[in-house]
Structure 1
Amino acid sequence: MGDRVRGFPKRCRCGEAVEWYHTFKWTDISMLEEIEDLIEKVENIEGTSATLQKGFNACENELENLALETRVCETVVEKEIGDCKMQLRSLKNIVVVAMFIVVFLKFIF
């Protein structure tokens, strides 16, 4: 065959459709080429799959890190809110005491 085609031929060298009397290629050679081509495709798919799996694992790790950071931030915010509430209570107490002193001084003078 002048025009080398791997695997089972789909067209004859002359361009006609493959028929049992129109073209010839040994079946064992065709089958071997088909298998070799499939092995290469499977290896490419496996490589791509491994790359995708690594990317997926990296995304999962990043999500776990973000979830941990979110929990830490929530804890810090809750603590800050608690501190602000305590300061607000202290300020309320100071205002009440100051008003009491003002009222007390007003009655005295």
Structure 2
Amino acid sequence: MSSSYSSGMNGSFNRRGAERGLPKKCRCGAESVIKTADTLKNPGRLFHCCPYGSKEDNGHLFKWTDIAMVEEMKEVEGVVEKIQAEMESLACETRTCEAVASSYEKEIEAIKALAKGCEKEIGELKAMIVCSEKEIQSLRCFKNIIVCSVVLFVVYVFIF
């Protein structure tokens, strides 16, 4: 029976040079297999081994599955702790981003209020322009009346 597990979460090794966690391959490159011990000392105990290894040949893979599982769980715990730390960091960053966004919302509201004030001032300026245009029109009429009066006066003076 071949193992479907990868070797260790991060490929770390223990003191004897063997991979930590569930082994996938032997040093010789062969896929590891899971077997059941039939000895008096370890009856029914599962182990990972190389299909080419033997009791006499220590150069091939041999590892108790329960020990490999404990190592694998420790590796998983380490990964989970790193993920939790990253999640806490991301939560902190999220809160910071929300605070910055909130401050921008306040600035945007202030800009909107300022824009409304500008709209009011622009309306007032437009009204002043309309009023000024009416005054200019009145002054043009007045100027025309004065020019006509001067022309009539000059004509009157030269005729009489």
TM-score range, shorter chain: 0.7 to 0.9
1:67-106 matches, cutoff 5 A: 67-104=105-142, 106=144
Tell me the distance in 2 between the aligned counterparts of 1:62 and 1:95: 48
State TM-score, norm by structure 1.
0.77
**1:26-37 alignment, distance < 5 Å:** 26-37=64-75
Aligned pair partner of 1:5 in 8, 14, 19: 19
When normalised by structure 2's length, the TM-score is 0.56
Matched to 1:43, the amino acid is E
Note the C-alpha offset of 1:105. Answer: 5.2
Q: Which runs of 5+ in 1 are unaligned?
A: none
Aligned residue number for residue 31 of structure 2: 17
Q: Secondary structure at the match of 2:63?
A: coil
| 2:91 alignment partner in structure 1 | 53
Q: Which runs of 4+ in 1 moved over 6 A?
A: none
Aligned with 1:25: secondary structure? strand
Contact 1:3 1:13 in 2 (8 A): no
Larger radius of gyration: 2
Matches of 1:42 and 1:106 in 2, distance apart?
Answer: 92
User: Cα offset for 1:33?
Assistant: 0.6
Question: Which has more helix, going by share of residues?
Answer: 1
Q: Give me the whole-angstrom Cα distance separating, in 2, the residues matched to 1:15 and 1:2.
A: 18
Kindly state the Cα deviation for residue 73 of structure 1 after the two structures are TM-superposed.
1.1
